[in-house]
Amino acid sequence: MADSTLVTLISVGVTFLFMLGVPVFLVIAYWVVGCSFVLGLTLDNMGAELLNVFNKGFALLAMPLFILTGDLINKSGIARRLSDFAYACLGWLRGGLAMASLGACGLFAAISGSNSATTATIGSMLHPEMVKGGYDERFSAATAAAGGTVGIIIPPSIIFIVYGFLMNLPISDLFVAGIVPGALMVIGMQVACWIICRINGWGYLIPLQLNRVLKTAFGAWLGFFAIGLVLWGIYTGKFSPTEAAGVTVGFCIIAGLVSYVITRALRLRQDKTWEEKSYAEQLVVEGFTLFQIPGITMRSAEITGILAPLIAVSVVMQQILSLLGAQQVIGDFVTSMGGYYAVLFTAMIIVFFSGMVLESLPVTIILAPILAPIAADVGVDPIHFSVIFLVGASIGFITPPYGLNLYVASGVTGVPYFKLLRYTVPYLIALISVWVLVALTPELALALLPNR
């Protein structure tokens, strides 16, 4: 039997496994192993490549550290303070709590760098509050899923780290380039949210009170400090993204431990409302004990244990696709489109449809090495294209049939997956509009990079 026939049969088989719900990592791994045998590649070669991914990828060390950062700020209560501040600022608008949850997603993303962690944390915290506040539970869950898309765009971003590692681009520049597009994504979704809530009359309004805004901002100072620490260190070149991740983890551990000691020593109650808390009580959060850190670390390790093998097998998959000539076929197709905008929008369409069926990591690892050089050949700035590519990949988080954030939101809220789909449409329209705007306006990605 011809090699091409065997590869086709293997591809059909793993597609069937994917449709049955087999984890993406195993689907790709089965395909890689099967095709390796067909092409005569030894498993020793596969093992060596898997090892090289992490031996040569110092930048990838930032990934588990930023995941741990997200778990630490969630457990310590810093994430709750950030969401309280967002609600104080936006609660006076129709749909203010839903808009605040999107704003909280943006703030959380600026520390954690993960879409699933953002969706899970904000969804579990604010979904019950939104339902109590008169919002449809399906819309509330869809809002958490949509808000999580900015988790890989607003720095620090785990996927930007992977992209920079693959394409040999400065990760600090990628982080800075994601700031404005990430903010626009949040604003675009908030506008869509406001329109939908205004039409349906969802949400209770609270008065805009300067004292409430100031007090909740004061209470969120630890979160703001962590965000500023990461951005300042990377932007000024004081430390690399990997070092920034380590510094942020250290800060969050110290903040959590010290806050716990102070809270217990002074017998401060964290269940008070903002009116009942003094400014002094807002200085500390709930925190955690030294004995809770192993449990927090284990949860982060479980997530890393899912992502790290996925990165490794996707790299090997990329190499096999190259041997099969698939990359050449895709490259020739995109190149044949002709000029700047034709190539750009063809690449965007490929990324969009790939994101519908694959997680952002394999999409990035498989397609970025193919599409980025072609885009560069027609004059697209590599940093600008990275933002275009990853904004498109992030939209896939709320696009069926895969839609990872939809599964995460469904899991933490209890709302069935298929009931969320209808309520993601306004957010998809907003995100695609921002995506096209970013693609057509390079300055949005490059404005904070004067050296580009």
Residue 154's contacts (CB-CB under 8 Å, 6 or more residues apart) are 106, 109, 110, 178, 179, 182, 183, 186
- Locate 77 and state its tokens: 């209560």
Which of 72, 67, 8, 62 lies closest to 35 in space, CA to CA?
A: 8
* Residue-level pLDDT at 112: 77
* Residue-level pLDDT at 329: 82
* Residue-level pLDDT at 293: 93
Which of 362, 358, 352, 357 lies closest to 318 in space, CA to CA?
A: 362
- Mean of per-residue pLDDT scores for the chain: 86
* Residue-level pLDDT at 225: 92
pLDDT band at 356 (very low <50, low <70, confident <90, very high): confident
* Residue-level pLDDT at 190: 96
Residue 338 has pLDDT above 70, yes or no: yes
pLDDT band at 182 (very low <50, low <70, confident <90, very high): very high
Taking only the tens place, the pLDDT of each residue in 188-243 is 999 999 999 999 988 888 888 988 899 999 999 999 998 888 888 877 878 877 88
**Cis omega (within 30 of 0) for bond into 401:** yes
Residue 163 has pLDDT above 60, yes or no: yes
pLDDT band at 6 (very low <50, low <70, confident <90, very high): confident
Percent of the chain with pLDDT over 90: 31
pLDDT band at 388 (very low <50, low <70, confident <90, very high): very high
322 vs 128: CA distance, rounded Å: 48
Residue 410 has pLDDT above 70, yes or no: yes
Percent of the chain with pLDDT over 70: 95
Taking only the tens place, the pLDDT of each residue in 237-247 is 788 778 888 89
317 vs 310: CA distance, rounded Å: 10
Own/partner contacts of 10-14, CB < 8 Å, gap of 24 or more, are: 10/34, 10/35, 10/38
* Residue-level pLDDT at 55: 65
Taking only the tens place, the pLDDT of each residue in 432-443 is 999 999 999 999
Least trusted range by pLDDT, from 307-316, 379-388, 396-405:
307-316
Count of H-run helices and E-run strands, the chain: 22, 0
Taking only the tens place, the pLDDT of each residue in 281-316 is 788 888 899 999 999 898 888 777 776 777 777 777
274 versus 431: the higher-pLDDT residue is 431
* Residue-level pLDDT at 59: 61
Least trusted range by pLDDT, from 37-46, 67-76, 138-147:
37-46
**Mean pLDDT across 79-103:** 90
152 vs 360: CA distance, rounded Å: 9
Maximum average pLDDT range among 32-41, 70-79, 137-146, 231-240: 137-146
DSSP 56: S
Taking only the tens place, the pLDDT of each residue in 124-161 is 888 888 888 889 999 999 999 999 999 889 988 888 98
Residue 233's contacts (CB-CB under 8 Å, 6 or more residues apart) are 239, 243, 244, 247
Residue 327 has pLDDT above 60, yes or no: yes
C-beta of residue 293 within 8 angstroms of C-beta of residue 266: no
Residue 82 has pLDDT above 60, yes or no: yes
Residue 1 has pLDDT above 60, yes or no: no
Using the CB atoms, write b or e for 295-324: b if 16+ within 10 Å.
ebbebbbebbeebbbbbbbbbbbbbbbeeb
* Residue-level pLDDT at 251: 93
430 vs 78: CA distance, rounded Å: 29
Using the CB atoms, write b or e for 337-370: b if 16+ within 10 Å.
beeeeebbebbbebbbebbebbbbbbbbbbbbbb
